[in-house]
């Protein structure tokens, strides 16, 4: 048996960073002003933020099918028998389905699951899968250990620009307009509860109240889940991200370890700038 672990750029990893964890990598595509970029290869997070700041409206697409085929062609040549794939939610992208189709065509056994989310949790699960593979765990056991945490992970996103979400097709224009008129700040959830799609969890009036409420939801869910890892991610919203960290620590403990990461390019294309999010995930068994 020869096993490889595969992830995509929804994890926030670049191709070079993925290689450091012995992860294979597929970039989603970001289209800006009729130019197509490969996320994490020829487009960085800072470059994408700069384009959004200049008023461009990026669109996204799954990894090029030809690139998926090339990767599995190489797997076949290298004698790879099994692939563990950790990709962003199927509710957000068709990436996982495309990988499944290519694996079947190449007669390579694919071990995968719908993680119902993306961003920092996807990154954590992908790196965990790579570490378990290096420790010699069989693919079935790796997937079992990842699956075990899926009922114990949530993500709460607070967008600054609802119009951006509407233009990107993740929120109806009418909903965005109504929320703006009523000065509503929605807390959006992407998790198993929302079937891996963007769902509205709560509605409050201000960003500070939204952060406070989302922190309480995170603390409550994590407490019920046991030993967890915590993340605060943002798209050029440093001040509000610090507020998120402070709020969560005030609820759980000042010594709480919280990982800070930027919202990756392919997701920031839809959330816009100024967004913040909380994520937590039960620790994967056997991973430090």
Can you spell out the DSSP letters for 209-258? HHHHHHHHHHHHHHHHH-SEEEEEEESS-HHHHHHHHHHHHHHH-TT--E
| Statement: the pTM of the whole predicted model exceeds 0.85 | yes
Report d(CA 15, CA 117) in Å as an integer: 20
The enclosing domain of 70 has a CATH number of 3.40.50.10170
Q: Are residues 123 and 10 in the same domain?
A: yes
Going from the C-alpha of 228 to that of each of 114, 153, 219, 248, the distances in angstroms are 20, 9, 10, 13
The enclosing domain of 258 has a CATH number of 3.30.1180.10
The last residue of one of the domains, among 117, 150, 183, is 150
| pLDDT score, position 108 | 98
| pLDDT score, position 198 | 84
Q: Are residues 26 and 132 in the same domain?
A: yes
Q: Checking phi first, is residue 92 left (phi over 0); if not, alpha (psi -120 to 50) or beta? A: alpha
Asked if residue 159 is part of any domain, the answer here is: yes
Q: Are residues 27 and 159 in the same domain?
A: no
Q: Are residues 187 and 207 in the same domain?
A: yes
Residues of the domain holding 215: 151-282
| pLDDT score, position 197 | 86
Q: Are residues 77 and 178 in the same domain?
A: no
Residues of the chain short of pLDDT 50, as ranges, are 172-179, 181-182
| pLDDT score, position 279 | 98
Q: Are residues 119 and 206 in the same domain?
A: no
Q: Checking phi first, is residue 42 left (phi over 0); if not, alpha (psi -120 to 50) or beta? A: alpha
The last residue of one of the domains, among 133, 150, 167, is 150
Asked if residue 110 is part of any domain, the answer here is: yes
Q: Are residues 15 and 113 in the same domain?
A: yes
Report d(CA 63, CA 166) in Å as an integer: 23
| pLDDT score, position 186 | 85
| pLDDT score, position 163 | 63
Asked if residue 287 is part of any domain, the answer here is: no
Q: Are residues 89 and 182 in the same domain?
A: no
Report d(CA 86, CA 107) in Å as an integer: 19
Q: Are residues 217 and 87 in the same domain?
A: no
The total of structural domains in the chain comes to: 2
| pLDDT score, position 202 | 85
Q: Are residues 271 and 164 in the same domain?
A: yes
Asked if residue 85 is part of any domain, the answer here is: yes
Contacts of 153 (CB under 8 A, 6+ apart): 116, 117, 121, 191, 192, 225, 279, 280, 281, 282
Chain-centroid distance of CA 81 in Å reads 27
Asked if residue 12 is part of any domain, the answer here is: yes
Q: Are residues 133 and 17 in the same domain?
A: yes
Q: Are residues 70 and 26 in the same domain?
A: yes
The last residue of one of the domains, among 120, 150, 180, is 150
Asked if residue 288 is part of any domain, the answer here is: no
């Amino acid at each position: 048996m020869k096993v490889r672990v595969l992830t995509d750029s929804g994890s926030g990893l670049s191709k070079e960073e993925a290689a450091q964890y012995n992860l294979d990598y597929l970039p989603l595509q970001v289209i800006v002003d009729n130019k197509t970029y490969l996320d994490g290869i020829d487009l960085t997070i800072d470059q994408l933020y700069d384009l959004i700041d200049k008023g461009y409206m990026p669109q996204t697409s799954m990894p090029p099918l030809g690139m998926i085929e090339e990767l599995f062609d190489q797997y076949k040549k290298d004698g790879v028998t099994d692939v563990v794939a950790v990709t962003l939610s199927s509710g957000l992208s068709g990436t996982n389905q495309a990988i499944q189709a290519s694996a079947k065509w190449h007669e390579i056994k694919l071990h995968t699951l719908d993680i119902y989310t993306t961003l920092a949790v996807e990154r954590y699960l992908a790196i965990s899968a790579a570490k378990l593979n290096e420790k010699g765990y069989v693919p079935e056991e790796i997937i079992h250990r990842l699956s075990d945490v899926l009922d114990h992970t949530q993500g709460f996103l607070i967008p600054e620009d609802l119009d951006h979400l509407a233009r990107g097709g993740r929120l109806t224009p009418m909903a965005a307009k109504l929320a703006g008129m009523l000065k509503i700040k929605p807390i959006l959830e992407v998790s198993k509860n929302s079937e891996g799609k963007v769902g509205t969890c709560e509605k409050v009036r201000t960003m500070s109240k939204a952060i406070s409420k989302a922190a309480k939801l995170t603390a409550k869910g994590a407490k019920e889940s046991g030993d967890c890892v915590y993340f605060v991610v943002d798209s050029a919203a440093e001040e509000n991200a610090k507020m998120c960290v402070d709020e969560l620590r005030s609820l759980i403990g000042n010594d709480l370890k919280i990982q800070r990461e930027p919202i990756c390019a392919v997701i920031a294309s839809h959330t816009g700038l100024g967004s913040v999010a909380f994520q937590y995930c039960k620790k994967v068994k056997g991973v430090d």
